Amino acid sequence: MIEDLGRELGAVGIRGRLRRRIVAEFRDHFACDPEAELGDARAIARQFADELGTSRSRRAAFAAFGALGVAGIVYTVAFVAANTLGRSDLQPRSVLLAGLASVTAVVAPQVAFVAGSLALLRALRARGVRALPAGELQVLARRTSLALACGLATMGAVALLGYEYAVHTGMAFTGAAIGGGALLLAAPALLSAARVRATAPGEVGDVFVDLGALLPERLRGDPWKLARAVALVVGLGVWAAGIAMADPIDGFLRGIVEGLACLGGFALFGRFLGLRR
């Protein structure tokens, strides 16, 4: 029976030192009580996987959000110091690469922030829960992985912009290395969670479950209605910033672009991130 447990633990992704420790504890238990019954080895292994996958997924989400905080500071400092996007007198080495880096530097951090915040919300909601449904863990892993991937893309764009425009390249490279290093340090926690194959059944919550009481009652029930409301708020916020900077026309146009980007992101990532069913 102990051998069966070892095989079943391996089948759900629990290997190495942890599997040896679990098997050793059960073996010691049998040594103390030879008449004890192990039960179904597969069920026991799956229970371990469900609980371990839940704890590791939560840890990965917290680690990713912390790493994104470091990367966000680097991003802000790099662009305040270099002022690359606002310098019309600078010419890039490659227009194509500079354009690609500029778009990435604008879009990727926003996606990273949204995905990381959603992962954090889902992880906080699951505090005290021993075993989440496998579908919930999949959504949590998707949010965390997308946040880390877009964070790394942002750091790459920072370094590339510094190189292309030859503006404070030392700061750009150093900042990208620090931010990218923080994000890479969070990756092992995500990989560790992904190795465990949880099987617990259960319904997967959507964005309304994530936001809970933070969301007004009139916006509940229809994910697209919520997406339109968020896009409108974002667009108006960008327009207001343009007005404050004495550039209302440009602010209005940028507000429209940001609002449409919100809707496009919801359409593209809504199901993947578990925002809608």
pLDDT in single tens digits along all 277 residues of the chain: 677 777 888 888 888 888 888 888 877 777 776 666 767 888 888 989 999 999 999 999 999 999 999 999 988 887 776 654 445 567 778 888 888 988 999 899 999 999 999 999 999 988 888 899 999 999 999 999 999 999 999 999 988 888 888 766 777 888 899 999 999 999 999 999 999 999 888 888 888 888 877 788 888 888 899 899 999 999 999 899 888 887 888 889 989 998 999 999 899 998 898 888 7
Report pLDDT for 138. Answer: 94
Same domain, 73 and 169: yes
**Number of domains forming the structure of the chain:** 2
Same domain, 200 and 216: no
Report pLDDT for 84. Answer: 46
Residue 3 lies in a domain: no
* Domain end residue (candidates: 204, 229, 248): 204
Same domain, 198 and 95: yes
Which range marks the domain in which residue 191 is found? 57-204
Please give the Cα distance from 178 to 155 (Å, whole number): 9
Same domain, 85 and 135: yes
Of 248, 244, 198, 194, residue with least CA distance to 46: 198
Residue 48 lies in a domain: no
Residue 24 lies in a domain: no
Same domain, 173 and 264: no
Same domain, 183 and 215: no
Report pLDDT for 82. Answer: 61
Residue 191 lies in a domain: yes
Residue 7 lies in a domain: no
Same domain, 164 and 260: no
Please check whether residue 74 is in contact with residue 158, taking contact to mean a CB–CB distance below 8 angstroms.
yes
Instruction: Return left, alpha or beta for 140; rule: phi > 0 is left, psi -120 to 50 is alpha, else beta.
Output: alpha
Same domain, 115 and 232: no
Report pLDDT for 125. Answer: 87
* Domain end residue (candidates: 173, 204, 235): 204
Same domain, 194 and 255: no
Residue 51 lies in a domain: no
Residue 71 lies in a domain: yes
Same domain, 69 and 131: yes
Which distant-in-sequence residues (6+ apart) come within 8 Å of 72 by Cβ? 109, 113
Report pLDDT for 35. Answer: 66
Residue 38 lies in a domain: no
Report pLDDT for 168. Answer: 66
Same domain, 63 and 200: yes
- CA-CA distances (angstroms) from residue 274 to 12, 79, 135? 24, 32, 9
Please check whether residue 172 is in contact with residue 84, taking contact to mean a CB–CB distance below 8 angstroms.
no
* Domain end residue (candidates: 204, 235, 260): 204
Same domain, 159 and 233: no
pTM of the model: 0.85
